[in-house]
């Protein structure tokens, strides 16, 4: 069924009362990611009837502050751009004449340092190469800040360094205290009006009825307001603590440094001036610093300068700025300034203003609150007018129109208080805040389950995901790689730990083994370092670590190889080249290039292969076919295949690229990376819930197909395609192919980006994409939900992602989808519950006012009802954990109606039942209940109030499931829901039995208590009947499982 038909089927044309969806889609519809400024301003201007602007818009981006921050950011960027790109030699010469001097302070001198913090910061910030040379270069700077470039900072010096040179932190706004939340809760206009009414009521009451009887009504309202404000403030404050914890988790970035002579990981916030930081592709430069050594380091400075062109960093251009990204290469830097002494620190201070974009659900519920609020305001005004007119007419009929007393003023004040309280109940201010509460709860739970949600909207959008484009390595597999097979000298050997060492060595000549170990140890971005325990530790990517482990197993010595050969040039691996090359100078003279990478690519660069004696022989067509058979054989066993090759050269290339042909093939390596336990089950869960899983990998197509079949991704009718084939297709051919594509192998980042764009724009899919590399950033940014890997992912990928999968596990991604669906349906439950209370409270008070001239629910009682349906209702329904049934229904489509027909059916059905019961009680209750005596009216009003509350309590239980009859499933696992139920009932008993003086209630007999509970419970029977009524005529309804309604999750 196409989306237009779905939309038509779920339209609200059958409910003319609420053309709500049309208004929501016109004014309250924004993109989940990167919404336009126009859309953000449009919905803000459409919001009206706001009781408490400060609280309601607390989690809404401040566009004015954001504009100011953007201007500030542009100013800083322009300043940096001038320094980096405009400042020519003439300007340097002019500045040299008026160079600022930085005399060494006593504090710095006594600490043993030879350069001032501001001077050190100035050298890097202004790229002052002349001043750097004046100080003697990076080696002399290192001596002046008391650090050895090979061993790094001593841990014992860190406190002193932080005292002199500062901490690597930028200025942040202090967190809001509980009292600020309490103050926000008091800003509610209706509560302020009620407080004024209460004070007036106390004054008039004492004047007419004396002390203390005259103060009870007003004091009751004040106490109720105090309770509402306290509960609201506590709820908001606890929510803010959850967000604070999430923010702390988001800022946990670790970098590799050399300290105390050892390589180790430290938080960027613990970096100090003098630290030796190791940088590689995708890292964010964590502080300002000076380049020490490295290869092919390309830095993206666009985050600071706005310039998109990368900067090549080398000893002649040694300056590295905090906040920039390593686009290519690897190297070491000396930290020279941290925190607010860097331009990045100043930039981050300005970027903390403005807040995060609101989510689509928050905006929709602002719209629902606005629409219901307008209706409520209208009813409140009508109720006040009806009560006032009736009162005046009655006085006129009794010829008392000219006689006014303070009791008359008090009665009019009560009418006004009731009208204002109706607005309190009718304007569902808590709806947008319930989304934030639900998201905060889900994000906290997901953080415990190893998924860090960086953007609020991602958690919400993930519940609607219809397609996941996932990487293979580390996500579907364990990322714990070992060399399993090797083909060398036209022989294939299986590697099984130490038992394989002697058989492998005996089958290979000494010359070939030396060549193999050179190819492994010299052509790598990883390192073998000694840990504090004296053992060898391998630092680097899992693939390279597997090769180094194999080299060490074969008796190789990493340090000896590195000492013997001098590395001249390195071309690091990236996802576009799919290979890594290194040029080394040979001690006997000349140069040698080693190359490794994707098997087909390296093989195509070779024209020779080493024989058993290490002698290169011609790579004939037959030998190429044999090698390809070996590669495909390894791949069909789900092994990742790499080829290692070399080429001898007589002279250096003098800056040119390393050669791309004429190589000699050394070996084909098969690396085993087992499928993660539980992945197949997670994939099956996705497929059962209407989420298509596509594998997008850079690996060999046979390896990809083998893993995809093992995971349950590739089916008999599915298509596996290679990236080059895919991007060579026309737009029309892509349109036919994409629905069948389940595996894309040998893909480039551009292929992933194209696939995501087509899925979103052509097929209307809501796409989640995983990524770990720098080049994955465009696809992560383009997707609806970008999922970066927490272990294998680079900082660039994480920065462009919406969710970080901390354990790199596909099952965790499915858990994010489950919680996303839970957020959506929990908010639907809460909206259904709250709108039912709205409708009943409004109609009951209005109809009663019109007919009898009095409202059955007093201001205090309505405030209590408001708290049940707002703060307590949100806590109970918006924080329910997900159940397995959520993953047995299709995802929510783009443009689907939020308030579905099923919800309207439940709202209208429950409202009719409650109104009918309460109306009968109001107008014929004394007779039916056989109430007599002077307190009959008070008993009846208390009974109506009690019954109304218990109807809401049982309806809250009904709302736990909008379609299924068994609403108790999982209820006893949700301690928050149970706690809210217990608190609600306990407070109701206290209000009725003990606070009658303030709440205008009287104690009830046990029979009336039982009858109240029974009438409330009957709403559950009514709910069962309503659920049996199909939402569409002729459509069968099943209650054995969730029905696949397209407009619901």
Measured CA angle at 900 (ends 897, 901), to 5 deg? 135
The DSSP result for 233-294, as a single string, is: HHHHHHHHHHHHHHHHHHT--EEEEEETTEEEEEEGGG--TT-EEEE-TTPBP-SEEEEEEE
Residue bearing tokens 């470039």:
149
CA 778, CA 801: separation in Å to the nearest integer? 10
b (16+ CB within 10 A) / e for 106-143: eebeeeebebbbebbbbbbbbbbeebbeebeebeebbe
CB burial readout 372-407, b (16+ within 10 A) else e: bbebbbebbebbbebbbebbeeeeeeeeeeeeeeee
The DSSP annotation for 485-511 comes to EEEETTEEEE--GGGGHHHHHHHS-HH
The answer to whether the bond into 571 is cis (omega within 30° of 0) is no
Selecting among 283, 471, 802, 870, the annotated active-site residue is: 471
Please give the angle made by the CA atoms of 632, 522 and 503, to the nearest 5 degrees: 55
Which of 379, 361, 408, 370 shows the shortest CA–CA distance to 23?
370
How many other CB atoms are found less than 10 A from the CB of residue 717?
7
CA atoms within 13 Å, Cβ hemisphere of 192: 9
Structure tokens at 293: 């050594």
Bridge partners (DSSP) listed for residue 148: 152
Q: What are phi and psi of 314, to 5 degrees?
A: -155, 180
681 neighbors 559 (Cβ within 8 angstroms): no
CB 938 within 8 A of CB 1002: yes
β-bridge pairing 606-610 and 319-320: unpaired
Question: What is the pairing mode between strands 491-494 and 482-488?
Answer: antiparallel
Burial class (CB in 10 A: 0-12, 13-18, 19+), 534: exposed
d(CA 820, CA 420): 37
Answer for the pair 767, 784: CB distance below 8 angstroms, yes or no. Answer: yes
Q: Find tokens 């790109």 and name the residue.
A: 85
Residues 57, 60: Cα–Cα separation, whole Å: 5
Burial environment of residue 4 by CB neighbours within 10 A (0 to 12, 13 to 18, 19 or more): exposed
Q: Distance between CA 855 and CA 763 in Å, rounded?
A: 54
What is the SS3 string spanning 512-571? Answer: HHHHHHHHHHHCCCCEEEECCCCCEEEECCHHHHHHHHHHHHCCCCHHHHHHHCEEEEEE
Is 471 designated active site?
yes
Burial pattern 768-796, b for ≥16 Cβ within 10 A else e, equals bbbbbbbbbbbbbbbbbbbbbbbebbbbb
- Beta carbons of 32 and 459 less than 8 angstroms apart: no
Phi/psi of residue 610, nearest 5 degrees: -80, 140
Query: Are the beta carbons of 845 and 856 closer than 8 angstroms?
Result: yes
| CA 417 centroid distance within chain | 43
C-alpha span between 995 and 1003 (Å, rounded): 9
Q: Cα–chain-centroid distance for residue 769?
A: 13
Per-residue tokens: 876: 């109970």
Active-site residues: which are they?
Answer: 471
């Amino acid at each position: 069924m196409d989306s237009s038909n779905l939309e038509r089927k779920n339209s609200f044309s059958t409910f003319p009362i609420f053309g709500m969806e049309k208004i929501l889609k016109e004014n309250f519809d924004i993109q989940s990611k990167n919404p336009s400024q126009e859309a953000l301003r449009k919905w803000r201007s459409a919001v009206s009837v706001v009781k408490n602007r400060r609280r309601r818009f607390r989690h809404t981006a401040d566009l004015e502050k954001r504009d100011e921050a953007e201007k500030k950011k542009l100013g800083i960027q322009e300043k940096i751009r001038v320094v980096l790109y405009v400042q020519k030699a003439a300007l340097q010469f002019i500045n040299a004449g008026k160079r600022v001097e930085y005399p060494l302070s006593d504090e710095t001198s006594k600490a043993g340092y030879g350069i001032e913090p501001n001077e050190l910061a100035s050298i890097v910030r202004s790229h002052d190469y002349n001043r750097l040379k004046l100080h003697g270069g990076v080696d002399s700077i290192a001596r002046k800040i008391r650090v050895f470039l090979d061993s790094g900072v001593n841990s014992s010096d860190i406190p002193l360094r932080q005292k002199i040179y500062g901490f690597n932190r930028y200025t942040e706004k202090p967190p809001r205290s509980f009292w600020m939340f309490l103050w926000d809760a008091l800003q509610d206009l209706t509560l302020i009006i009620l407080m004024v009414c209460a004070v007036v009521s106390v004054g008039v009451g004492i004047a007419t009825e004396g002390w203390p009887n005259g103060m009870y009504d007003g004091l009751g309202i004040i106490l109720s307001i105090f309770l509402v404000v306290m509960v609201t403030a506590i709820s908001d404050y606890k929510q803010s603590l959850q967000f604070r914890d999430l923010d702390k988790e988001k800022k946990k970035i670790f970098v590799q440094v050399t300290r105390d002579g050892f390589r180790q990981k430290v938080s960027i916030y613990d970096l100090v001036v003098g630290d030796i930081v190791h940088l590689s592709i995708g890292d964010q430069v964590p502080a300002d610093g000076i380049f020490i050594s490295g290869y092919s380091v390309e830095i993206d400075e666009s985050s600071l300068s706005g310039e998109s062109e990368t900067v090549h960093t080398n000893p002649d251009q040694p300056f590295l700025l905090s906040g920039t990204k390593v686009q290519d290469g690897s190297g070491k830097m000396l930290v020279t300034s941290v925190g607010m002494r860097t331009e990045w620190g100043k930039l981050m201070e300005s970027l903390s203003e403005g807040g995060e974009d609101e989510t689509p659900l928050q905006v929709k519920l602002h719209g629902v609150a606005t629409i219901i609020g307008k209706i409520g305001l209208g009813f409140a005004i009508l109720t006040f007018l009806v009560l006032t007119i009736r009162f005046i007419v009655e006085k006129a009929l009794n010829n008392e129109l000219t006689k006014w007393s303070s009791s008359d003023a008090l009665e009019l004040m009560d009418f006004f208080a009731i009208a204002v309280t109706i607005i309190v109940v009718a304007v569902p201010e808590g709806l947008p805040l319930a989304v934030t509460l639900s998201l905060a709860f889900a994000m906290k739970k997901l953080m415990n389950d190893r998924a860090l949600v960086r953007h609020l909207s991602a958690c919400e959008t993930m519940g609607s995901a219809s397609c996941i484009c996932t990487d293979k390595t580390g996500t579907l597999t364990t990322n714990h790689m070992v060399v399993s097979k090797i083909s060398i000298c036209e022989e294939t050997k299986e590697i099984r730990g130490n038992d394989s060492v002697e058989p492998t060595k005996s089958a290979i000549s000494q010359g070939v083994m030396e060549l193999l170990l050179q190819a492994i140890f010299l052509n790598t971005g990883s390192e073998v370092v000694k840990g504090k325990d004296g053992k060898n530790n391998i630092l680097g990517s899992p693939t390279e670590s597997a090769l180094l482990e194999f080299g060490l197993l074969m008796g190789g010595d990493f340090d000896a190889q590195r000492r013997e050969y001098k590395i001249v040039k390195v071309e690091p691996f990236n996802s576009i080249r799919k290979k890594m090359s290194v040029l080394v100078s040979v001690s006997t003279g000349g140069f040698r290039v080693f190359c490794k990478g994707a098997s087909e690519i390296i093989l195509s660069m070779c024209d020779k292969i080493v024989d058993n004696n290490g002698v290169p022989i011609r790579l004939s067509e037959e030998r190429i076919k044999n090698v390809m058979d070996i590669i495909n054989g390894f791949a069909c066993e789900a092994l990742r295949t790499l080829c290692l090759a070399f080429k001898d050269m007589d002279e250096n290339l003098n800056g040119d690229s390393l050669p791309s042909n004429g190589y000699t093939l050394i070996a084909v390596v098969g690396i085993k990376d087992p499928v993660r336990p539980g992945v197949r089950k997670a994939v099956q869960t996705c497929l059962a819930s209407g989420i298509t899983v596509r594998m997008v990998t850079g690996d060999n197509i046979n390896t990809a197909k083998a893993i995809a079949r093992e995971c349950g991704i590739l089916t008999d009718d599915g298509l596996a395609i290679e990236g080059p084939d895919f991007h060579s297709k026309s737009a029309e051919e892509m349109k036919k192919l994409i629905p069948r594509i389940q595996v894309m192998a040998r893909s480039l980042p551009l292929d992933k980006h194209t696939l995501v764009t087509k899925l979103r724009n052509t097929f209307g899919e809501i796409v989640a994409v995983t990524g770990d590399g720098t080049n994955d950033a465009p696809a992560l940014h383009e997707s609806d939900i970008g999922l970066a890997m927490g272990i294998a992912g680079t900082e660039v990928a994480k920065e462009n992602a919406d969710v970080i999968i901390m354990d790199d596990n596909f099952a965790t991604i499915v858990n994010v989808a489950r919680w996303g669906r839970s957020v959506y349906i929990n908010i639907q439950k809460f909206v259904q519950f709250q709108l039912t209370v709205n409708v009943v409270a409004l109609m009951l008070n209005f109809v009663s006012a019109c007919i009898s001239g009095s409202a059955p629910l007093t201001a205090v009682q309505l405030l209590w009802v408001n708290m049940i349906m707002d703060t307590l209702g949100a806590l109970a329904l918006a924080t329910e954990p997900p159940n397995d049934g959520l993953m047995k229904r299709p995802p929510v489509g783009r443009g689907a109606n939020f308030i579905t027909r099923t919800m309207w059916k439940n709202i209208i059905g429950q409202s009719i039942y409650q109104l009918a019961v309460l109306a009968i009680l109001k107008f014929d209750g004394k007779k039916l209940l056989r109430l007599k005596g002077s307190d009959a009216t008070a008993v009846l009003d208390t009974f109506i109030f009690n019954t109304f509350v218990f109807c809401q309590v049982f309806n809250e239980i009904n709302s736990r499931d909008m379609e299924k009859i068994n609403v108790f499933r999982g209820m006893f696992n949700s301690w928050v829901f149970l706690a809210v139920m217990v608190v609600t009932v306990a407070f109701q008993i206290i209000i009725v039995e003990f606070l009658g003086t303030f709440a205008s209630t009287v104690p009830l007999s046990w029979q009336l208590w039982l009858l109240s509970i029974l009438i409330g419970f009957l709403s559950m029977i009514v709910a069962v009947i309503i659920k049996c009524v199909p939402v569409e005529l002729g459509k069968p309804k099943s209650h054995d499982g969730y029905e696949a309604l397209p407009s619901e999750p």
